[in-house]
DNA sequence: TGGGGTTCAAAGGGTTCA
DNA sequence: TGAACCCTTTGAACCCCA
């Protein structure tokens, strides 16, 4: 980062405070991403999963905020055996359509998550899609 | 919210207590909206669906009050919550779970709608949700 | 010194009950 | 129905180690 250059959060455009989880972000997106990957969160976009993430609106759609975090390359330091494709036994058993419902769910959203939160599936089955690196490899 | 600025309920004009469901509202409209979206309510305006909503009159027409709530942008956030019960034949056949996928879909979103748009289900089955959010994303 | 984790006051969603 | 209350999330400030 050249000095004097603006430090802009890659996720929301707020003032960034440095690199967090491999991406230049603000304190808010840093905390949001850390909380997201440390818990079994499953967010759902109330719109069409393409919300614009800005400083003012970043709180209004957690699903798209997290999606953006992942899209720009935020990830945990991959020492702990991460990077395998997202999969849980239930989704594998149901097949792509039931598990992913492509076109309906965005990356990191899985039907199993909802069924787990409804108590239908045991928590052990829940996807942990947040721990996966973007499919294209390490960006930047 | 700029400091010193009046906090007025966007729905009824009463004193607002903060942002509720993404809109500056009073406690009354907050509670009213939460109750409305957590149940399968179906209000009917006894007049011409353009009642003026004020602090004094907000209780007189629930239909127009809810309409106003939605018009000014009130909606659930992206975390799971209760939507409306399913009401199309496919959803009923699949049961609540498959039709609503609570926590995955937002109020007014149904799995059937997505499957219809994917061509899996015939169009006649599509839900016509009342609570649908604007397609473009976060308002404002 | 950079970046991950922790702290905690404020904001906002849900619940209670008169 | 809505005022009062409780609980979770947010993010600015801070701590700590490599
Ligand atoms: Zn940010
Ligand atoms: Zn969204
Ligand atoms: Zn109001
Ligand atoms: Zn009316």
pLDDT in tens, A118-138: 444 555 554 543 223 232 222
Contact between chains at B103 and A113 (C-beta distance less than 8 A):
yes
Model confidence at A60: pLDDT above 80? yes
Is B80:B26 a contact under the CB 8 Å cutoff? no
Cα separations in angstroms, A122 against A41, A42, B9? 15, 15, 42
Phi, psi of B16 (to 5 degrees): -90, 155
Q: Average pLDDT, stretch A60-68?
A: 90
**Strand C closer than 7 A to residue A46 Cβ:** no
Which of A10-19, A30-39, B70-79: highest mean pLDDT? Answer: A10-19
Nucleotide nearest to B65 (CA to C1'): D1
Spacing, Cα A53 to ligand 2 middle (Å): 9
Burial of B97 (0-12, 13-18, 19+ CB in 10 A): middle
d(CA B70, CA B49): 14
Other CB atoms within 10 Å distance of the CB of residue A137: 8
H helix runs in chain B, sequence order:
27-38, 62-71, 89-100, 111-117
pLDDT in tens, B59-81: 999 989 998 998 898 887 765 43
What ipTM did this prediction achieve?
0.60
Q: Which residues of A touch B96 (CB under 8 A)?
A: none
Spacing, Cα B25 to ligand 2 middle (Å): 22
pTM passes above 0.80: no
Q: Which has the higher per-residue pLDDT, A29 or A3?
A: A29
Spacing, Cα B115 to ligand 2 middle (Å): 20
Q: What is the pLDDT of residue A23?
A: 95
Using the Cβ of A69 and the Cβ atoms of chain B, whether some distance falls under 8 Å is answered with no
**Strand C closer than 7 A to residue B81 Cβ:** yes
A119: which residues sit within 8 A by CB, 6+ positions away?
none
Matching residue, tokens 């808010």: A28
Nucleotide nearest to B41 (CA to C1'): D1
């Amino acid at each position: 980062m050249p000095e004097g250059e603006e430090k802009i959060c890659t996720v929301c455009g707020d003032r960034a405070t440095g690199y967090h989880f491999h991406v230049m972000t603000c304190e808010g997106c840093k905390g949001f991403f850390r909380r997201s990957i440390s818990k079994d969160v499953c967010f759902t976009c109330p719109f069409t999963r393409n919300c614009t993430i800005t400083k003012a609106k970043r709180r209004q759609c957690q699903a798209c905020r997290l999606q953006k975090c992942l899209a720009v390359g935020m990830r945990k330091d991959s020492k702990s055996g991460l990077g395998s494709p997202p999969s849980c036994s239930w989704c594998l058993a149901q097949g792509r359509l039931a598990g992913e419902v492509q076109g309906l769910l965005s990356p990191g959203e899985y039907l199993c998550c909802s069924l787990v939160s409804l108590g239908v599936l045991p928590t052990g089955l829940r996807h942990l899609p947040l721990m996966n690196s973007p499919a294209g490899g390490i960006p930047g």
